[in-house]
Amino acid sequence: MNSSGLSVLDRRIEECRACPRLVDWREEVARTKRAAFADWTYWGRPVPGFGPPDARLLIVGLAPAAHGGNRTGRMFTGDRSGDVLYQALYDVGLASQPTAVSADDGLELLGVRVTSPVHCAPPANKPTPAERDTCRPWLTRELGLLRPTLRAVVVLGAFGWQAALPAFAESGWTVPRPRPAFGHGRHVRLGASDGPGLDLFGCFHVSQRNTFTGRLTPEMLRDVLRTAAEAAGLPTA
């Protein structure tokens, strides 16, 4: 466990201005706001990971939402995607409460950390490949700090899957060649020559497009989270 290292990393992430397009967008959104949140002071900065430093399970998303994480300053907090994710985590015994509305709402994750391969809200929720690659060293460093306890990862969506595989390799796990394709419920075991391996699971993203159309149901999400938690050695409800 390296709590001081993760705290330092989180502060460094919050100060990043490496991608001009993302900086301009996140700050413009924070200035103009959405009418429903006119009385909020938006975060308007990169959003670091959220969860304990000794997490055994990591959830990797895509990027903060413009009026979610970019507003509240916490991953998957204040938007409908987060509503779905944290309800499912609560249902399987991995979160202290089923809702996430602000960074000071008392939510605690139990053995789980949530992060993303891109830490700034992108226009249209679509980071460019260059922005993804520029942000990857943050994920690689986070994985390295979590590695002593990390045993399983759930990646939400194909973008996160493609972005995370190189970071796993850079952090010391062995990624198969050719690289495994994303799929909902996909399970890949990543070995390591100098420590425990990692169980990698794919899951459709908790986007409104997927949840409103039924492509991803709450039951499907709970099944993946429960399977991953058991692989990580975490108790589930």
| pLDDT for 132 | 96
Write out pLDDT tens, residues 5-27: 999 999 999 999 999 999 999 99
Q: What gap in Å lies between CA 142 and CA 6, rounded to an integer?
A: 7
Angle, CA of 150, 221 and 187, to the nearest 5°: 50
61 vs 193, residue with greater confidence: 61
Tell me the whole-structure pTM to 2 decimals. 0.96
Q: What gap in Å lies between CA 203 and CA 221, rounded to an integer?
A: 7
**What SS3 state is found at 231?**
helix
| pLDDT for 1 | 53
3 vs 170, residue with greater confidence: 170
Write out pLDDT tens, residues 172-181: 999 999 999 9
Write out pLDDT tens, residues 110-157: 999 999 999 999 999 999 999 999 999 999 999 999 999 999 999 999
| pLDDT for 135 | 98
Q: What gap in Å lies between CA 77 and CA 70, rounded to an integer?
A: 9
Q: What gap in Å lies between CA 80 and CA 205, rounded to an integer?
A: 12
| pLDDT for 193 | 87
Angle, CA of 198, 75 and 144, to the nearest 5°: 35
